[in-house]
Amino acid sequence: MEYLTGAFSSFISNLPEGLQIEGLRYLFGAGSIFLLTWVILAGILANRRIRRPLPAVMRNRQIIREIGNSALSIFVFVFAYSFTEYTLFQLWGTSVFKIYPDVATYGWPYLIFSVVLWTIGLDTYFYWTHRLMHHKKLYHFFHLTHHRSHNPTPFTAYSFAPPEAILIYLFVPLFFTFIPMHDTAFVTAMLVQITRNAIAHCGYELFPKNWTRHPILGVFATVTHHDMHHEKSNGNYGFYFTFWDRIMGTEHLHYHERFDRVTQNNDRNTLAESY
């Protein structure tokens, strides 16, 4: 009982700052991408729409639902962080997270490298947990909420059920237990993560022609890559990269053709729901 009381107190003390930081990060990433792709550049990007947009009423209802789910996910993130920090303190008397405040400790080259390492590690973690959540015995409990956004928007980025939000959060303590990271590097990595997440769900292909067929650039996942995952509800499980999908044979067969059609199409009326 004393442990639960302490964990709850830790959560309450972290709640205001945690909600502010995570909430602003979500609004910055999802909100800015929504404004850019769906409002400011909507006319310019009209021919880059991957699938037909939802009717306005359905779209607005979906966005409201996504923002509500995202608010719950942010709440879960703060709770999970507080619970983890308190538990580690109780076990070892201090946090085991290797977060350091002085850049000079490892230098600027390592600071930059740690962001790259985070990106690679997160993509690997995301691929395998994402694929696991699609198992028929786990899908409804973990991942169905996210896939209710069959035709996603930038606000889909954090539209998770609480179990999925916890699973996603677990990468943070796992990484920090083994890899030192500066505060600035962590903030940078998280901003990149939410922005990239919102881009992947924006519904407009932002990458240039022939990207997917380039021997190097093709390793970086496009918007079409993740949009096809929402459309088909399987395959294309990667986040930043196509690496694991290609190795494991889970990349959609017509991914390149779909990307080519979207980036070379000049007639918005030929958009379709599936390939």
Span 265-272, mean pLDDT?
51
Between 87 and 76, name the one with better pLDDT: 76
What percentage of residues in the chain have a pLDDT greater than 70?
89
Of the candidates 34, 61, 81, 83, which has an alpha carbon nearest to the alpha carbon of residue 195?
34
**Three-state SS sequence of the chain:** CHHHHHHHHHHHHHHHHHHHHHHHHHHHHHHHHHHHHHHHCCCCCHHHECCCCCCHHHHHHHHHHHHHHHHHHHHHHHHHHHHHHHHHHHHHCCCCCCEECCHHHCCHHHHHHHHHHHHHHHHHHHHHHHHHHCCCCCHHHHCHHHHCCCCCCHHHHHCCCHHHHHHHHCHHHHHHHHCCEEHHHHHHHHHHHHHHHHHHCCCECCCCCCCCCCCCHHHECCHHHHHHHHHHCCCCCCCCECHHHHHHCCCCCCHHHHHHHHHHCCCHHHCCCCC
Report pLDDT for 96: 63
Who contacts 8 (Cβ-Cβ below 8 Å, separation ≥6)?
none
Q: Is the pLDDT of residue 196 over 90?
A: yes
Give strand pairing partners of 18: none
**Three-state SS sequence of 80-103:** HHHHHHHHHHHHHCCCCCCEECCH
Handedness of CA 104, 105, 107, 113 (dihedral sign): negative
What digits encode the pLDDT tens for the residues 19-42? 888 899 999 999 999 999 999 999
Predicted confidence band of residue 82 (pLDDT cuts 50, 70, 90): confident
Which of 10-19, 32-41, 174-183, 223-232 has the least mean pLDDT?
A: 10-19
Report pLDDT for 182: 94
Span 133-155, mean pLDDT?
97
Span 221-232, mean pLDDT?
97
Report pLDDT for 220: 97
Span 100-107, mean pLDDT?
92
What percentage of residues in the chain have a pLDDT greater than 90?
75
Q: If you search the block for the tokens 């209710």, which residue do you land on?
A: 148
Q: Is the pLDDT of residue 268 over 60?
A: no
Report pLDDT for 274: 47
Query: Mean pLDDT, the chain, as a whole number?
Result: 90
Question: CA end-to-end span of the chain, whole Å?
Answer: 56
